[in-house]
């Protein structure tokens, strides 16, 4: 029985700007996405029947057709019906290590791993851009999760411009286990509160995204200047999520007060918050200090690192 095991890393947002509302109902965004070495493990087993099944060890993750990994397999089956009928179905096992509904693209990276894994399982030989095109049908973050590393993402988040890889930047990541933020809620609330400030003319979207390509943080990434990157972190969604989640605001403020912390920001639609530090030792120190200061078993803290890749094949049998 063929079996592939894939590593599916989470992402953080070093930058998230909401530019305006698009005619298709989505927001026009300019983001800088960064892969980190906090990852789920996705195992794909060829099944004898024409079925797609998902198994997951996390109670908050559905295993039915709504699971993004399941949707990715269905998309592959409908795009490649001959391969599906020749090779049969697939059993997908998700070992969850990435916190769920945290702004870390957990579901998206699982979907990306399934696209890459089924391509291998069925011997389709798709290119990265073909996989990204399929990924965009599943969610805006899926194309990035395939190749990972460091990239500017514009449009809905699916248009990618790779940046020089920002490897080995140390981070402390924190998330309250019991808190989950709905991404649609965060964007809708932002639109209600700040929609009046949106760029209205769609032609001007391009001008604004061009400006982001030239932003100071992008230049700092090019020369791996961790200090400037840390000072130029930005996330528009903090304006709606932090006031609604005082615990997250408190965490964010506590991170900012630590002398070892170079910069701190909420990732995506939250509620996870990360802090950039200079070394692994500083990361361990900050983790310890925050653990003691907050003293709540509901708070999960991770020492993690930026990496230069997305989905990776670990083993094949
Ligand atoms: P993003 O940063 O892309 O907005 P997120 O990290 O905030 O995503 P996810 O962890 O992807 O959020 O989970 C969002 C919701 O999607 C969860 O509440 C869960 O019910 C559902 N979900 C569906 N498939 C998955 C999956 N494979 N892994 C995690 N959650 C999934």
Maximum Cα–Cα distance across the chain: 59
Exposure string of 103-122, with b = 16+ CB inside 10 Å and e = fewer, is: bbbbbbbbbbbbbbbbbbbb
pLDDT of residue 88: 87
Query: Is 99 part of any known ligand binding site?
Result: yes
Residue 102 has pLDDT above 90, yes or no: yes
Number of separate domains in the chain: 2
In this prediction, residue 316 has a pLDDT band, given cuts at 50, 70 and 90, of confident
131-135, 154-158, 200-204, 248-252: least confidently modelled range: 200-204
Q: Which domain holds residue 240?
A: 169-306
For residue 161, the CA-to-ligand 1 centroid distance in Å is 24
Is 105 a pocket residue for ligand 1 (Cβ < 6 Å)?
yes
In this prediction, residue 312 has a pLDDT band, given cuts at 50, 70 and 90, of very high
Nearest-CA residue for atom 1 of ligand 1: 105
In this prediction, residue 1 has a pLDDT band, given cuts at 50, 70 and 90, of low
The share of the chain scoring above pLDDT 70, in percent, equals: 100
Mean pLDDT for 176-191 is 95
Q: For the domain that residue 80 is a member of, what is the CATH number?
A: 3.30.230.10
- 17/118 same-domain check: yes
- Which residues neighbour 166 within 8 Å (Cβ) at sequence distance 6 or greater? 34, 149, 150, 221, 224, 229, 306, 308
Q: Supply the angle between the helices 128-136 and 106-121 in degrees, to the nearest 10.
A: 130
Query: Is 107 part of any known ligand binding site?
Result: yes
- 9/147 same-domain check: yes
In this prediction, residue 314 has a pLDDT band, given cuts at 50, 70 and 90, of very high
- 21/152 same-domain check: yes
pTM of the model: 0.95
In this prediction, residue 200 has a pLDDT band, given cuts at 50, 70 and 90, of confident
- 97/215 same-domain check: no
- 214/148 same-domain check: no
| 315 within domain boundaries | no
Mean pLDDT for 84-90 is 92
Residue 11 a catalytic site member: yes
- 256/201 same-domain check: yes
Mean pLDDT for 78-97 is 95
pLDDT of residue 105: 97
- 245/218 same-domain check: yes
43-57, 155-169, 192-206: least confidently modelled range: 192-206
For residue 76, the CA-to-ligand 1 centroid distance in Å is 20
Phi and psi (nearest 5°) for 118? -70, -35
| Closest listed residue to residue 31, CA positions, set 229, 209, 241 | 209
Residue 114 has pLDDT above 70, yes or no: yes
Query: Is 108 part of any known ligand binding site?
Result: yes
Query: Which one of 40, 119, 141, 282 is the catalytic residue?
Result: 141
Residue 192 has pLDDT above 70, yes or no: yes
Residue 20 has pLDDT above 90, yes or no: yes
Choosing from 101, 111, 148, 180 the residue with most ligand 1 atoms within 8 A of its CB, the one to mutate for a pocket test is: 101
On average, the pLDDT of the chain sits at: 95
Residue 204 has pLDDT above 80, yes or no: yes
For residue 39, the CA-to-ligand 1 centroid distance in Å is 14
Residue 94 has pLDDT above 80, yes or no: yes
pLDDT of residue 317: 77
Residue 141 a catalytic site member: yes
Task: Return the DSSP state at 197.
Answer: G
Place of tokens 């803290």: 301
Q: Are 187 and 27 in contact (CB under 8 A)?
A: yes
Mean pLDDT for 151-178 is 95
Q: For the domain that residue 218 is a member of, what is the CATH number?
A: 3.30.70.890
Residue 87 has pLDDT above 80, yes or no: yes
- Which residues neighbour 215 within 8 Å (Cβ) at sequence distance 6 or greater? 15, 232
pLDDT of residue 84: 94
- 257/154 same-domain check: no
Instruction: For residue range 207-229, list pLDDT tens digits in order.
Output: 999 999 899 999 999 999 999 99
């Amino acid at each position: 029985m063929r079996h592939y095991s894939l590593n599916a890393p989470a992402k953080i947002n070093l930058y998230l700007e909401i530019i305006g509302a698009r005619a298709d109902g989505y927001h026009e965004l300019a983001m800088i996405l960064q892969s980190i070495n906090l990852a789920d493990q996705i195992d794909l087993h060829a099944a004898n029947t024409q079925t797609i099944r998902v198994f997951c060890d996390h109670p908050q993750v559905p295993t039915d057709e709504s699971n993004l990994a399941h949707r990715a397999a269905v998309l592959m089956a409908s795009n490649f019906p001959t391969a599906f009928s020749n090779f049969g179905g697939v059993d997908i096992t998700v070992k969850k290590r990435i916190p769920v509904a945290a702004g870390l693209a957990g579901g998206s990276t699982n979907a990306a791993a399934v696209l890459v894994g089924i391509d291998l399982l069925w011997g389709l030989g798709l290119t990265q851009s073909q996989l990204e095109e399929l990924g965009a049908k599943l969610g805006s973050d899926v194309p990035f999760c395939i190749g990972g590393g460091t990239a500017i993402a514009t449009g809905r988040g699916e248009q990618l411009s790779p940046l020089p890889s920002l490897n080995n930047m140390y981070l402390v990541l924190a998330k309250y286990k019991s808190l989950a933020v709905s991404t649609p809620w965060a964007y809708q609330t932002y639109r209600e509160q700040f929609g009046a400030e949106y760029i209205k003319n769609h032609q001007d979207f391009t001008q604004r995204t061009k400006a982001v390509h030239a932003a100071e943080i992008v230049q700092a990434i090019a020369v791996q200047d961790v200090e400037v990157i840390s000072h130029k972190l930005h996330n528009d969604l903090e304006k709606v999520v932090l006031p609604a989640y005082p615990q997250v605001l408190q965490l964010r403020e506590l991170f900012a007060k630590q002398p070892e912390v170079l910069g701190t920001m909420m990732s995506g639609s939250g509620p996870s918050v990360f802090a950039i530090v200079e070394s692994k030792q500083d990361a361990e120190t900050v983790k310890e200090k925050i653990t003691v200061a907050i003293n709540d078993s509901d708070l999960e803290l991770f020492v993690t690192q930026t990496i230069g890749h997305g989905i990776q094949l670990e083993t094949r049998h």
